[in-house]
Amino acid sequence: MNVDLLGDNTPRATPAVLTVSQLNARVKELLEDEFGEVLVEGEISSWRTYPSGHSYFDLKDAASRVSAVMFSGRRRFLRFEPEVGMRVMLRCRVTLYEKDGRFQVSALSMEPLGEGALEVAFRQLHERLEKEGLFDPARKKEIPDRPHRVGLVTSREGAALRDMLRVFKERAPIVELVVLHTQVQGEGAASSIASAIQRADEGLASMGHPLDLIITGRGGGSREDLWAFNEEEVVRAIAGCGTPLISAVGHEVDTSLSDLAADESALTPTAAAERVARGWLDVARDVAGLIHDARRAVETILASLDDKLSRFLREPVFRRPEAPLESLAQRLDALYERMSREARHQQQMKRTHLAGMVPKLRVLSPQKKILVSVSKLDDNLKRLRMANGSFLQNRADALETAAGRLELVSPLAVLARGYSLAYKEPAGALVKKAEDVRAGESVRLRLSQGGLICRVEEVFPEGEGP
């Protein structure tokens, strides 16, 4: 130690000589030991983020300014993007940047003052995605009235899934449901939801089982619980989904960015299921109405028939239906008796006539007459055969001559020489004059073999030609 003798003869210690680096290191140590972690509020007056991910900014109040840094490891936990002019509360360590000897604070966390961090993040992402057109109503797809296959993208353990399954079972059991489980809150929930939406949209379609509609969402909770449905990854997955999609997040008072990007939003998952089932309920009501109308019509017809039957049964014929049959039976018996008597009388007359013919037949033996008759019959048959042959030959010759004359005047023979017959379409009337048809009409030409359907391009009067 060096000693300096002063005028009063009192020795004084000489300060140790420090390098600049040693001085800055000592000051840094003293600052960090003295302050530790502190809370500082102020307004961000500048903000710069470098490729390394570290952000440098100034924090000021009405009278002073302090430099600050937030390293990338801390910054990645921010849910919002800090902006110049934003009032914030920093949890930070007071330190010194030794290289430049610059006093600064190192931010460990940051919360906006006034608006909460989630509200700021919501507003900033909403403004950015709205500029990109993700919330534009013109890009939204129409929700089908009666979908057959519906995908439910939600947690299989949540009450939202149970409520939607109950609604579909009660109101639209015809709908085929495909449940795609996803994490709906906590770290990794956004990636899980976006992946499940992509599987529902593209994965099922590639396997030949495309969905008609997707419902994604969850039941109510705090703003932090519902935050996964405000993440940019989920919002872009919904906006890029090719299948019509309904977002149903939280309770009636909750609005998420997923609701704004979806083709349609519902107040709750239950309301979404009721919205989808409504089309099938309308069909069920229409069918029930038709069944009711048909039943009323059948009842009316049956009542009318019953009334007619009652009137018929009051007629005498229905009071004693066997009476006409008894009368007919008696008439039938009388007719049978008359027919029997007439048959016996005719039989007796035939017997008497035959008995009178027997003596005459005995006197006139038929054998000789039969022989003569047979001879005459043979001669007649020979002449008849000759006459018949000559007659048929004459007829054949006459027929051949007539056929030749007919062939000469037959229209078919004319057609065979290259002519044709024209008929109007579709009536089928024969066209005899050019004036019978007009340009543009169709005519059917009959040829010697087959026919043609032709369109008239131009009509020439008699005496003129093309």
Q: pLDDT tens, 190-229?
A: 999 999 999 988 878 777 888 999 999 888 877 778 888 9
In a domain, 291, yes or no: no
b/e per residue 293-330 (b: at least 16 CB within 10 A): eeeeeeeeeeeeeeeeeeeeeeeeeeeeeeeeeeeeee
CA distance 68 to 82: 13
Nearest one of 209, 160, 163 to 182, comparing CA atoms? 160
> In the predicted model, is pLDDT for residue 117 greater than 80?
no
Give percent above pLDDT 90 in the chain: 14
Give the range of the structural domain holding residue 210, as residue numbers without chain letter.
Answer: 141-282
In a domain, 293, yes or no: no
| Number of Cβ atoms within 10 Å of the Cβ of 250 | 23
Q: What is the pLDDT of residue 31?
A: 82
Residues 328, 232 share a domain: no
Q: What is the pLDDT of residue 164?
A: 92
Assess contact for 234 and 263: CB atoms under 8 A: no
> In the predicted model, is pLDDT for residue 373 greater than 70?
yes
Nearest one of 143, 390, 98, 365 to 245, comparing CA atoms? 143
In a domain, 462, yes or no: no
> In the predicted model, is pLDDT for residue 57 greater than 80?
yes
CA distance 12 to 157: 79
In a domain, 305, yes or no: no
pLDDT, tens only, 289-320: 667 667 777 777 887 787 777 777 666 656 66
> In the predicted model, is pLDDT for residue 5 greater than 60?
no
Q: What is the pLDDT of residue 368?
A: 67
Query: Could you give the number of structural domains in the chain?
Result: 4
Assess contact for 41 and 91: CB atoms under 8 A: no
Both tokens assigned to 76: 């990645």
In a domain, 244, yes or no: yes
Residues 247, 154 share a domain: yes
Q: What is the pLDDT of residue 293?
A: 66
Residues 356, 434 share a domain: no
In a domain, 4, yes or no: no
pLDDT, tens only, 124-175: 778 888 888 888 889 899 999 889 999 999 999 988 999 999 999 988 888 8
Both tokens assigned to 221: 């909770």
CA distance 203 to 187: 24
Residues 357, 225 share a domain: no
Give percent above pLDDT 70 in the chain: 87
Arithmetic mean of pLDDT over the chain:
81
Q: Which domain-ending residue is among 97, 114, 131? A: 114
Helix (H, G, I), strand (E, B) or coil at 63: coil
Handedness of CA 384, 386, 391, 392 (dihedral sign): positive
Residues 248, 147 share a domain: yes
> In the predicted model, is pLDDT for residue 3 greater than 50?
no
Q: What is the pLDDT of residue 2?
A: 47
Query: Which CATH number does the domain housing residue 211 bear?
Result: 3.40.50.2300
Residues 338, 431 share a domain: no
Query: Which CATH number does the domain housing residue 48 bear?
Result: 2.40.50.140
CB-based contacts of 44: which residues, under 8 Å, 6+ apart?
Answer: 57, 58, 59, 82, 83, 84, 85, 86, 87, 88
**How many residues are recorded in the chain?**
466
Residues 264, 146 share a domain: yes
Residues 108, 57 share a domain: yes
> In the predicted model, is pLDDT for residue 363 greater than 70?
no
Residues 421, 361 share a domain: no
The neighbouring-strand residues paired with 215 are: 152, 246
> In the predicted model, is pLDDT for residue 115 greater than 60?
no
> In the predicted model, is pLDDT for residue 1 greater than 50?
no
Q: Which amino acid is at 157?
A: E
> In the predicted model, is pLDDT for residue 456 greater than 50?
yes
CA distance 439 to 455: 8
Q: Which residue has the tokens 């030991």?
A: 33
In a domain, 271, yes or no: yes
Q: What is the pLDDT of residue 18?
A: 79
Helix (H, G, I), strand (E, B) or coil at 227: helix
Handedness of CA 69, 72, 74, 75 (dihedral sign): positive
Nearest one of 252, 255, 251 to 235, comparing CA atoms? 255
Residues 219, 344 share a domain: no
Q: Using omega within 30 degrees of 0 as the cis cutoff, is the peptide bond preceding 321 cis? A: no
Q: Which amino acid is at 39?
A: L
Residue 112, phi-psi category: left (phi > 0), alpha (psi -120 to 50), beta (remainder): beta
CA–CA–CA angle 321, 322, 323 (5° rounding): 95
Any idea which of 268-277, 345-354, 363-372 has the lowest mean pLDDT? 363-372
Residues 228, 352 share a domain: no
Question: Which has the higher per-residue pLDDT, 410 or 266?
Answer: 266
Nearest one of 37, 57, 55, 33 to 46, comparing CA atoms? 57
Question: Which has the higher per-residue pLDDT, 405 or 316?
Answer: 405
In a domain, 395, yes or no: no
> In the predicted model, is pLDDT for residue 9 greater than 50?
yes
Residues 217, 84 share a domain: no
